[in-house]
Amino acid sequence: MEILEQKHIALLTEADRRGDGATANLRLCFEVIALAAAIDRDCAARLAPHNLSEGKFVLLFLLHQMADGLSPHELADRAGVTRATVTGLLDGLERDVFVTRQQSKDDRRKVLVRLSPKGQDAARELFDTHTRWIASLFAGFDESDRQALSALLQRAWRNTDGRRKAMQPKAESEITQ
Amino acid sequence: MEILEQKHIALLTEADRRGDGATANLRLCFEVIALAAAIDRDCAARLAPHNLSEGKFVLLFLLHQMADGLSPHELADRAGVTRATVTGLLDGLERDVFVTRQQSKDDRRKVLVRLSPKGQDAARELFDTHTRWIASLFAGFDESDRQALSALLQRAWRNTDGRRKAMQPKAESEITQ
DNA sequence: GACATATAATTAGTCGCCATACTATATGCC
DNA sequence: GGCATATAGTATGGCGACTAATTATATGTC
């Protein structure tokens, strides 16, 4: 049984053939990506029966903490996606009656999103199920395992472009986004 | 600087508040996912200037190894996506003249996909650039680091649903997909 | 008070992925 | 030989993400 996917194996085989020496690092990278992809697939498969996706689940969860409701803008910020994406997710959630949209009184540009009773139930139940499942993936890891894995992941992460870019934003004269 | 994303932090905060004890495992899972997502983003950002996506890059690379061309079906199998997805990717690659489609003579249902000269160049150059970049993410890892990380990832992977399902397909009387 | 600017949400268009359904062609069996 | 079935490729439509543009509303300044 192999954690890697078809495409990774093809890439590795070719890299090996060329003998460029970095094959071991390539494999490692693909293992990280393949594990994450496997977890994402599991997550999607577990949420699908409820008519939910990962993105929708995050919104549900965010709203659950905020009894007063949140605006799409706030949801976007907290979920880390664009407002346009939130609009799309809310369309689905509203259609399936997990959520209601209601115009704000003090600022008529704003919309207030609240959980419906169905949404409340789903959020409460799924949050538990979900966190228990995720935790179970790492069942059997003790504190030293966790620290070892975390440290190794951090070391790789320090080499990503995205993190580099996030490091010196002060030097820029203009923030593009 | 934090490897985790907004949504992960929100989830963790709530789990912590509830004190369900599994927070450390949750965080670990999110770290894996966040690193993989960061790598995927970098990958997309590096390929975008060439008008390529990760999916298209894989096809380019697969074709590069096969001078005689491949059918969409074979491409789908080796890339690990559906034939329909391959059709879409090929549409884009053909539009940008990375690739040509040509009907097979011996089996008129079949199509033979080949790299154009532009595709050849792109594949050769990008394969090198790309593998060097990926390897550089794990620069500084020695063999024991690699084995440690790999072993930890494998342990988590053994707990995924997808892997479980792949383990006993013999017992089923019918293969649903 | 009016106009420039900022902000909120949505719409429209693109992309990559999927599942499903269709068309054309091969193949196997009676 | 002819019909059922399998296979190859594509079309269609959905989802979730993005950017850019649009519309409505606030706000700040002269």
Q: Please write the tens of the pLDDT for every residue from B80-94.
A: 999 999 999 999 999
Q: Does A84 fall in a domain?
A: yes
User: Is some CB atom of chain B closer than 8 A to the CB atom of A160?
Assistant: yes
- Whether A118 shows a pLDDT value over 60: the answer reads yes
What average pLDDT does this structure show over B62-71?
A: 88
Are B16 and B23 a contacting pair, CB within 8 Å?
yes
Cross-strand pairs, B101: B113
* pLDDT (0 to 100) of residue B106: 84
Are A115 and A53 a contacting pair, CB within 8 Å?
no
Between B1 and B96, the more confident residue is B96
* pLDDT (0 to 100) of residue A1: 63
How far is residue A122's CA from residue B55's CA, in Å, rounded to a whole number?
Answer: 35
Assess whether B56 and B44 both reside in one domain.
Answer: no
Q: Does A27 fall in a domain?
A: yes
* pLDDT (0 to 100) of residue B174: 37
Assess whether B70 and B38 both reside in one domain.
Answer: no
What average pLDDT does this structure show over A18-27?
A: 87
Helices A72-79, B6-18: crossing angle, 10 deg rounding: 90
- Whether B170 shows a pLDDT value over 60: the answer reads no
Domain that holds residue B84: 51-134
pLDDT level of residue A18 (50, 70, 90 thresholds): confident
Assess whether B27 and B62 both reside in one domain.
Answer: no
Assess whether A87 and A123 both reside in one domain.
Answer: yes
Q: How far is B113 from chain A (nearest CA, A)?
A: 18
Q: Chain B residue with minimal CA distance to A32? A: B36
- Whether A74 shows a pLDDT value over 60: the answer reads yes
Assess whether B130 and B80 both reside in one domain.
Answer: yes
Q: Does B62 fall in a domain?
A: yes
Are A32 and A156 a contacting pair, CB within 8 Å?
yes
Assess whether A74 and A46 both reside in one domain.
Answer: no
* pLDDT (0 to 100) of residue B167: 65
Are B127 and B148 a contacting pair, CB within 8 Å?
no
**Which of A32, A50, A68 is where one domain is finished?**
A50
Are A70 and A63 a contacting pair, CB within 8 Å?
yes
**Which of A155, A23, A25, A18 shows the shortest CA–CA distance to B136?**
A25
Protein residue minimizing CA–C1' distance to D14: A92
Average pLDDT of every residue of chain A: 87
Assess whether B71 and B55 both reside in one domain.
Answer: yes
Residue A113, phi then psi, degrees to nearest 5: -105, 130
CATH number of the domain bearing residue A115: 1.10.10.10
Percent of chain B with pLDDT over 90: 59
Cross-strand pairs, A112: A102
Q: Which of B35, B62, B77 sits opposite A156 (nearest CB)?
A: B35
A-B Cβ pairs (cutoff 8 Å, strict): 217
Assess whether A71 and A125 both reside in one domain.
Answer: yes
What CA–CA distances, in Å, run from A147 to A94, A158, B119? 41, 16, 44
Q: How far is B30 from chain A (nearest CA, A)?
A: 9
What average pLDDT does this structure show over B155-166?
A: 84
- DSSP string computed for A31-47: HHHHHHHHHHHHHHHHH
Assess whether A46 and A60 both reside in one domain.
Answer: no
Assess whether B77 and B59 both reside in one domain.
Answer: yes
Classified as helix, coil or strand, A111 is strand
- Whether A107 shows a pLDDT value over 90: the answer reads no
* Strand C lies under 7 A from the Cβ of residue A81: no
Assess whether A66 and A131 both reside in one domain.
Answer: yes
Assess whether A67 and A40 both reside in one domain.
Answer: no
* Strand C lies under 7 A from the Cβ of residue B8: no
pLDDT level of residue A168 (50, 70, 90 thresholds): low
* pLDDT (0 to 100) of residue B177: 31
- Whether A25 shows a pLDDT value over 70: the answer reads yes
In B48-82, which residue ranges form alpha helices assigned H by DSSP? Answer: 54-65, 72-79
Query: pLDDT tens-digit profile of B49-58?
Result: 999 999 999 9
Cross-strand pairs, A103: A111
What average pLDDT does this structure show over B154-165?
A: 86
What average pLDDT does this structure show over A34-44?
A: 92
**Domains in chain A: how many in total?**
2
- Whether A169 shows a pLDDT value over 70: the answer reads no
Beta-carbon count within 10 A of B170 CB: 5
- Whether A165 shows a pLDDT value over 80: the answer reads no
Q: Does B153 fall in a domain?
A: no
Within 8 A of B80 by CB-CB distance, chain A residues are 5-7
What average pLDDT does this structure show over B164-176?
A: 49
